[in-house]
Amino acid sequence: MALASPVAAALATGAVGLVVFPLLGRSPLAALHAFFVAPLATRNGLAELVLKASPLMTIATGLAVGFRASVWNIGAEGQLVVGAICGGGLALYFEGAETRWVLVLMLMAGALGGMAWAAIPALLRTWGHASEILVSLMLAYVAPLLLSYLVHGPWRDPQGYNFPQSKLFDDAFLFPILVPGTRLNASVLLALAVVGLGWLVMGRSFLGYQMRVTGLAEAAARYAGFPTARAVWVGLLAGGAAAGLAGVGEVAGPIGQLTPSVSPGYGFAAIIVAFVGRLSAPGIVLASLLMSWLYLGGESAQIRLALPSAITGLFQGLLLSFLLAGDVLVSYRVRLGRVRAAHRPAAEARPAGVCQVDA
Amino acid sequence: MSDGPASGGVPRLELRGIRKAYPTVVANDGIDLAVQPGEIHAILGENGAGKSTLVKIVYGLIQPDAGEIRWEGRPVEITGPPAARRLGIGMVFQYFSLFETLTVAENVVLALDDPGDRTALARRISEVSARYGLPVDPMRPVHSLSVGERQRVEIVRCLLGAPRLLIMDEPTSVLTPQAVAPLFETLRRLAAEGCSILYISHKLDEIRGLCHRATVLRAGRVAGRVDPRVETASALARLMVGAELTARERPAEAVRGEPRLVVAGLSRPAADPFGVDLLDIHLTVHAGEIVGVAGVSGNGQQELLAILSGEAPLAEAASIRMLGVDVGRFGPARRRRLGLAFVPEERLGRGAVPIMSLADNALLTAHRRGMVRLGFTRPGRARSFARGLIARFGVRAAGPEAPARSLSGGNLQKFIVGREIAQEPRLLIVAQPTWGVDVAAALRVRRALLALRRAGVAVLVVSEDLEELFEICDRIAVMARGRLSPARPTRETSVEEIGLLMSGAASPSEDGAGSRRREDPAVAAPA
């Protein structure tokens, strides 16, 4: 049942497409073709699919560490931006240094930057019981302002005709292209390494076990003496580091400079990827490809059918909604009719509602 | 309640050949049972004997695979609790299903199929409670009620439906000895009015004192039908267990070692509004002795245990001394490294992670026993450790990969107690060691505790089961209203004295006597 729900959600999302496209005045078959088939019909399309999946799987792996422990970092978008700023700043600082090691430094700086941004909600949660959901989300809207200030001000390219963007990074500082003629670069290898590391830590390490226990039964974690504050820190920092790496992957990959926008919402989409992928490594890889496909389909639908760009967000949202609904319906049965409180044993006692446990 | 007292006519309830099988176990196999009007009929058996399944079938919570249910001579199908209530069957569960933040009357409304007018209902509650000697104030919020009062609410709630068969599931497991007598009075009065009662228990004395007939279940079958008033306790136990109970192993005189747990003047206000303030707790447990803490739960045991386990660490280090170290500020991990092991009261969700396997649950606290290397878990070690516990403590489980929540309460308890004992602790703190555990397994757990004591381990047992405490403890203290009485040597005290101390919590008038006793400084100056 755990696997049925993501598949059913994907199918349901496609089914809604069949309804939405005619409403927008497009032939549903042509639209589905433009959305789902056309983007993958070329070698370049496939390369783009993997390219866009890389940051998604990186971030989703980091987020899954926290999600397993019920630490809800939903501000990966901000952590990605701060990672891009830190990595990009180094690239600008070392301009002309003609060594590939700068990329390594940029990655480290990016990871640290993302962690620093994620440390703020961790600190406020462990010290002040502030909800990490709200704090991390709000900070996701602060980080782009910081980036905007930098590229409009101190880091603006003097020869850039006043466009709000930095100088182009040296070629030596960029991820090498893997498939000539496409934008697919070595950051995908980094992404796979992150996924592998995430699998090792969450599946096999004692730390991962402690995080899982904390997420499943906090009282059991307290009973065993697993520090719950550490779970908050590890969960948020892992997400921050992964998002920061993904940010560097973007600016040292397809973008090649700092611009006011360095991500089409990868940080948010990765939340969906993590859940659709059931927080597991193979699932996250598959789900990141699916989500990437939706991005490409949305772009393709804009170009070929002149559909609004919101179509991408629409399908992403639908996918998550269907998944969450599917998860609820796997465990609960909807009973229609007059709600009546039955006298039942304490183990099942719950305020009467329309949902009844279907055990 | 129109029927007369017990007679040999048509049974109120008759079960014929009831069978219920689950994938791994046959819970009920060919059960025949007849309850006459006005009869108090005991269903006696170990945990796992099939008592709960049987009464849940009667109450419509479970559908039988085969067999017939006859109600007053007519075959009936009981499709669910509402159908059972329509027939006139009421059930009082062992664990209460009351909403703490609501009043008594509101809780009753929630449970009724047709509540009717609220004010009239409050009047009916008062009437019923007065008539059957079950005083409850309909307007009081449930969180302010004692456990005994909550049980009264549950019973009153059932009685409002004017049941002709009342099912009581282990009703005395939560009561003080003093609160048991009025409950029995109520049940006898109900029976005298013609209401039949199915009384589930494993307490032999109660059944002999209260019930007219008893059906003994063993491993899903009827092991015997007896008149408990004429049988001896050991004859009943033999029917239940299937073999002669081994004679009690009287603990020999303790060879007391050094103090391993010293609590000196611990006071702490409750963290949450429904909690209990701890007041000036003094407690010493030496190596090689078992100290029991008796008392009705909800008198500060939970708070004390959380402080002792380290789940609720203190600001000052010196108020708890464990194995020679001031541990007040230590969390559970550091205390465990010193040699503490702890069995909490809640099994699922605290003592074990429900959806994790037994092997993964072994890791929870026993990971120091070679299950982690270089930061990585060693699943093979955890599995074999879990397999060892399953064998040593007779845990009924599909294997080390079975999720914790698939075990019955008693079996999970055996697993958790076993896991803590197998870590060879120097100080063991156990809450409700045999709660819900069957007789044979309880014997095994108690033997393991006594073996630890012989090996020089200091053991603290917090239990509501007085019989158990008197069986294994060297000294017994009583927790009442956040205070702990001085621990009295078991030989020098009696169930009556301990019961009195326990009930001191329930009635303010006895508090004076209780306090004087508590101020006895016998234990205030440990060796």
Q: How many CB pairs under 8 A join A and B?
A: 92
DSSP string, A19-69: HHHHHTTS-HHHHHIIIIIGGGSSHHHHHHHHHHHHHHHHHHHHHHHHHHT
Q: What residues of chain B lie within 8 A of the CB of A340, using their CB?
A: 113
Q: What residues of chain B lie within 8 A of the CB of A204, using their CB?
A: 376-377
Q: What residues of chain B lie within 8 A of the CB of A1, using their CB?
A: none
A42-312 belongs to which CATH class? mainly alpha
- In tens, the pLDDT along A62-81 reads 999 999 999 999 999 999 99
Distance from CA of B120 to the nearest CA of A (A): 20
Whether residue B65 contacts residue B18, with contact meaning beta carbons closer than 8 Å, is answered with: no
Distance from CA of A341 to the nearest CA of B (A): 6
Q: Are strands B278-286 and B259-268 parallel, antiparallel or unpaired?
A: antiparallel
pLDDT exceeds 70 at position B254? no
Q: What residues of chain B lie within 8 A of the CB of A347, using their CB?
A: 95
> What are residue B475's DSSP bridge partners?
B291, B489
- HSE-up of residue B149 (Cα within 13 Å, Cβ side): 17
| B311 phi and psi angles, rounded to 5 deg | -65, -25
- In tens, the pLDDT along B291-329 reads 999 887 778 888 999 999 999 888 887 789 999 999 988
- H or E segment at A72? none
Q: Indicate the pTM of the whole model.
A: 0.71
- In tens, the pLDDT along B483-509 reads 999 999 988 888 777 877 776 533 333
> Is there a contact between B333 and A226 if contact means CB atoms under 8 Å apart?
yes
Which phi-psi region, left, alpha or beta, contains residue B235 (left: φ > 0; alpha: ψ -120 to 50)? alpha
> What are residue A236's DSSP bridge partners?
none
Closest Cβ–Cβ partner in A345, A351, A352 for B93: A345
Closest Cβ–Cβ partner in A204, A227, A348 for B377: A204
> Given CA atoms B408, B413, B416, B417 in this order, what sign does their dihedral have?
negative
Give the lowest-confidence range in A68-72, B147-151, B242-246, B357-361: B242-246
> What are residue B221's DSSP bridge partners?
B218
pLDDT exceeds 90 at position B40? yes
Confidence of residue B388 (pLDDT cuts 50, 70, 90): very high
- Dist. CA A224–CA B341, nearest whole Å: 10
Whether residue B163 contacts residue B189, with contact meaning beta carbons closer than 8 Å, is answered with: no
Q: What residues of chain A lie within 8 A of the CB of B309, using their CB?
A: 223
Encoded amino acid at A68, one letter:
R
Query: Would you say how long chain A is, in residues?
Result: 359
- In tens, the pLDDT along B165-212 reads 999 988 876 677 677 888 898 899 989 999 999 998 877 778 888 999
A contact test, residue of B89, B112, B142, B350 with most A CBs within 10 A: B350
DSSP string, A140-186: HHHHHHHHHHHHHTTT--TTSTT-S--PPPPGGGSPPBSSTTS--BT
Q: How far apart, in Å, do the first and last CA atoms of chain B sit?
A: 62
What angle (nearest 5°) sits at the alpha carbon of residue B129, between those of residues B175 and B10?
90
Whether residue B487 contacts residue B519, with contact meaning beta carbons closer than 8 Å, is answered with: no
Whether residue A94 contacts residue A173, with contact meaning beta carbons closer than 8 Å, is answered with: yes
> Is there a contact between A204 and B376 if contact means CB atoms under 8 Å apart?
yes
Sketch the domain layout of chain A as residue ranges.
42-312
In chain B, what are the domains? 13-241 (3.40.50.300), 259-339+425-519 (3.40.50.300), 348-408 (no CATH)
pLDDT of residue B112: 74
- Dist. CA B406–CA B96, nearest whole Å: 22
Residue A117 buriedness (CB in 10 A; 0-12 / 13-18 / 19+): buried
| Per-residue pLDDT in tens (0 to 9) along chain A, 359 residues | 567 788 888 888 888 888 888 888 888 888 888 888 888 999 999 999 999 999 999 999 999 999 999 999 999 999 999 999 999 999 999 998 888 899 999 999 999 999 999 999 999 999 988 999 999 999 999 999 999 999 998 999 988 888 899 999 999 999 999 999 899 999 999 999 999 999 999 889 999 999 999 999 999 999 999 988 999 999 999 999 999 999 999 999 999 999 999 999 999 999 999 998 889 999 999 999 989 998 898 888 888 888 887 888 888 888 888 888 888 887 777 777 654 444 443 333 333 333 333 33
Encoded amino acid at B65, one letter:
D
